[in-house]
Amino acid sequence: MINADRNRFIKQHVELYGEELFLDSITKKSKKLSLKLSKVYLLKNLSSKVDIDLSFDKKNINSKVVFGSGDPNADLLIVGESPSDYEVEYNKPFLGNSGKLLEKILNAIGYSRSANVYFTYLIKFKIDGFRYPLDSEINKFIPLLKKQIEIIEPKMIVGLGKVVGKSLTNKNLSMDLLRNKVHSFSSCPLKITYSPDTLLQYHSLKKLAWEDFQFIRDFVK
């Protein structure tokens, strides 16, 4: 039955648009699928190498690596600071209340967790205690983030929080100044805004974050 429906669709498409246009449409879809599968493979391969590359450093890393997840063809690459214990446990970025808030904001500008967004972290393991990441920890993961960007080719990187902003812009600025312009990181436009954790603590900042995400939506269009 499925084959009969497929053959009927092909016949109707060829009758309406001609064989050349039909084949052109199939070719474009095949190329798009091939590109997506290629990116999936490259990201998976990169992820497996990360575990190997960090194996020598287990004495300093008391957590599994949370590599990232999402659409490999994403327009938006969301970069947080580092995963929580809960996110490490499930090996998935942006879970819990902060993840729900981020998803709600993304839904409001026409995006979702499953389509056109990829999520990752600057530091891809849980940082012990309540402290800022060390420069040595940041420097360890910057090359990995650049490789993820190279594979995904997003239209914009969205950096969440001051630590991410300072690290990716290499500028020690206030959040107001970090938010005030479009930066560049690894040849890709970079927009800094507040992290969902900060927004859950300081509700008054949600209006500013909403303005940022509206700008992001319009920039990527």
In this model, does residue 202 exceed pLDDT 80?
yes
The total domain count for the chain is 1
Structural domain containing residue 166: 31-220
Q: Is residue 25 part of a domain?
A: no
Q: Is residue 52 part of a domain?
A: yes
**What pLDDT is stored for residue 171 in this prediction?**
95
Question: Over pLDDT 90: what percentage of the chain?
Answer: 67
Q: Is residue 8 part of a domain?
A: no
Say if residues 106 and 117 touch (Cβ distance below 8 Å). yes
Q: Is residue 4 part of a domain?
A: no
Q: Is residue 176 part of a domain?
A: yes
Q: Is residue 183 part of a domain?
A: yes
Query: In 112-161, which residue ranges form alpha helices assigned H by DSSP?
Result: 135-152
The predicted model scores a pTM of 0.82
Q: Alpha-carbon distance 56 to 165, whole Å? A: 29
**What pLDDT is stored for residue 90 in this prediction?**
94
Q: Is residue 1 part of a domain?
A: no
SS3 (DSSP) at 117: strand
- Chain segment 59-97, per-residue pLDDT in tens: 555 568 899 999 999 999 999 999 999 999 999 999 999
Q: Is residue 12 part of a domain?
A: no
- Chain segment 188-199, per-residue pLDDT in tens: 999 999 999 999
Contacts of 219 (CB under 8 A, 6+ apart): 155, 156, 182, 189, 191
- Chain segment 144-200, per-residue pLDDT in tens: 999 999 999 999 999 999 999 999 999 999 999 999 999 999 999 999 999 999 999
Q: Alpha-carbon distance 54 to 128, whole Å? A: 17
Q: Alpha-carbon distance 98 to 197, whole Å? A: 5
| CATH number of the domain encompassing residue 97 | 3.40.470.10
